[in-house]
């Protein structure tokens, strides 16, 4: 397995499939706005996911269910304006594709037209077959999402690890194979046993991107705000924090507040 990085000008869905063939791991993060997306893109990320996790980390909702199509388009268009190299994948939010395949296609087209995103992601396997087919037929690249699918949280009742039992694991493997056969360019596997994720990655030719699915997959995704340590509360086992922005921002804001109150800011050099 090679760790050498090819110099891709603009990452496409084909580059991701090539990366899997070459054994090059795919790095994916979420972003929801222009400023963060610009930093993440320039730092060399391969895929930016405009996740419906914006519902949690940006809007403060308990679940991903409330975010609307127009809100996703607002976030995605801000990200697209900043992304020069990364592939931008946009989540289809809850309630915009589950009713029927015609509605799914309309939602996917609206995202592509109004945000300029490069692909869509949607949650679910066999039950979304027709919608996925229809979106793909319109020339829109689709990424699947299996395992813990947060839009179904009220069905699951808990955010614990999925597919530990054999029947669910078999269904997940069969769903992943179906996504490959339909023509999806990749699949996210969330919070499932590492051994199952490994089996899926070895069974299909499209990239498998894990979050809480172990290391034997083709790439990883994390929620940007989580890996930057913006919040202290969310601490699942799979999360590695690469910064303590909660601490840094708190320190900066405290310092600023003190300086304003004491009259230290602005000084003579900071005025006209």
Binding site for ligand KIV (CB under 6 A): 30, 49, 51-53, 91, 188, 190, 211, 221, 223
Report how far residue 189's alpha carbon sits from residue 102's, in angstroms, rounded to the nearest whole number: 26
Least Å distance, CB 270 to ligand KIV, is 39
Least Å distance, CB 51 to ligand KIV, is 2
Closest to ligand KIV by CB, 20 vs 191, is 191
- The answer to whether residue 258 is catalytic is no
Query: Could you tell me the CA-to-CA distances from 128 to 104, 154, 161 in Å, in that order?
Result: 9, 18, 22
Least Å distance, CB 14 to ligand KIV, is 21
The active-site residue, picked from 190, 202, 248, 270, is 190
Closest to ligand KIV by CB, 11 vs 94, is 94
Q: For the packed helices 129-137 and 166-182, what is the interaxial angle rounded to 10 degrees?
A: 20
Closest to ligand KIV by CB, 173 vs 211, is 211
Structural contact between residues 120 and 111, judged by C-beta atoms closer than 8 angstroms: yes
With CB atoms as reference, the residue minimizing the distance to ligand KIV is 51
Least Å distance, CB 212 to ligand KIV, is 9
| Token reading at 201 | 């990655």
Report how far residue 218's alpha carbon sits from residue 77's, in angstroms, rounded to the nearest whole number: 27
Residue 126 is classified by DSSP as: G
Closest to ligand KIV by CB, 166 vs 233, is 233
Structural contact between residues 121 and 90, judged by C-beta atoms closer than 8 angstroms: yes
Q: For the packed helices 69-82 and 34-42, what is the interaxial angle rounded to 10 degrees?
A: 40
What residues act catalytically? 190
């Amino acid at each position: 397995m090679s760790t050498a990085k090819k110099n891709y000008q603009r990452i496409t869905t084909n580059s991701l499939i090539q990366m899997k063939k070459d054994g090059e791991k795919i790095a994916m993060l979420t972003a929801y706005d222009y400023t963060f997306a610009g930093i993440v893109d320039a730092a060399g990320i391969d895929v930016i996911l405009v996740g419906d996790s914006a519902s949690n980390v940006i809007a403060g909702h308990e679940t991903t269910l409330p975010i609307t199509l127009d809100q996703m388009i607002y976030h995605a268009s801000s990200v697209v304006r900043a992304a020069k190299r990364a592939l931008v994948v946009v989540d289809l939010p809850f309630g915009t594709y589950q009713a029927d395949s015609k509605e799914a296609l309309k939602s996917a087209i609206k995202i592509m037209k109004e945000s300029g995103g490069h692909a869509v992601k949607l949650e679910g396997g066999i039950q979304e077959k027709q919608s996925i087919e229809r979106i793909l037929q319109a020339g829109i690249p689709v990424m699947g999402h299996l395992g813990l699918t947060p839009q179904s949280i009220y069905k699951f009742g808990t955010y614990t690890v999925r597919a530990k039992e054999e029947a669910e694991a078999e269904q997940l493997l069969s769903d992943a194979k179906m996504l490959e056969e339909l023509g999806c360019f990749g699949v996210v596997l969330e919070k499932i046993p590492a051994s199952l994720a490994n089996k899926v990655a070895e069974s299909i030719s499209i990239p498998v991107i894990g979050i809480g699915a172990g290391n034997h997959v083709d790439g990883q995704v994390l929620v940007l705000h989580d890996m930057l340590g913006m919040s202290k509360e969310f601490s699942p086992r799979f999360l590695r924090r690469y910064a303590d922005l909660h601490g840094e921002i708190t320190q900066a804001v405290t310092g600023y507040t003190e300086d304003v109150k004491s009259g230290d800011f602005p000084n003579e050099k900071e005025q006209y």
